Amino acid sequence: MATEADSQADPGEQYRFRRRRRTPEIWTAERIAALRARLGLTQSAFADEIGVRQQTVSEWETGRYLPRGTSTRLLGMLAEDADDDFSGAAGGPSSASDPGEENAGRDGGAEARK
């Protein structure tokens, strides 16, 4: 049973979470292309990272369509990761001094068997 105090509560209180939503980032064709270039990925590899088709990335980068929904959040997360990677080490995202070290152990020990 509702009391008088319940009826005087702020009617917008149940929707308060809507007021806290932040404005989504605007991802222009130039920003998407710059992010992909900064990550050093092809359109296909970039699409795989986000979970979309390569054609979708192409359409974003040409300005035919803009990303929306979850794609904008994923782009934001990739951008944050890219900023972390590039601000960490002076040499870029990799801290390995020898480029061969990055792939060490990934070939199942084929190098050691030679």
CB–CB of 68/96 below 8 Å?
A: no
pLDDT of residue 83: 83
- Predicted TM-score (pTM) of the model is 0.56
Cα–Cα dist 68/56, whole Å = 12
Question: Distances in Å between the alpha carbon of 76 and those of 25, 52, 79?
Answer: 8, 15, 5
- Nearest alpha carbon to residue 95 among 85, 81, 82: 85
* Main-chain phi, psi angles of 9, to 5 degrees: -65, 155
Tokens of 57: 């990335």
Per-residue pLDDT of the chain (114 residues; tens, 9 = 90+): 555 555 565 555 666 655 555 666 789 999 999 999 999 999 999 999 999 999 999 999 999 999 999 999 999 999 998 887 766 544 444 434 344 444 444 444 444 444
Domains and CATH numbers, the chain: 22-86 (1.10.260.40)
DSSP letters along 61-80, please? HHTSS---THHHHHHHHHHH
Cα–Cα dist 61/43, whole Å = 9
Sequence-distant (6+) residues with CB within 8 A of 67 are: 27, 32, 60, 75
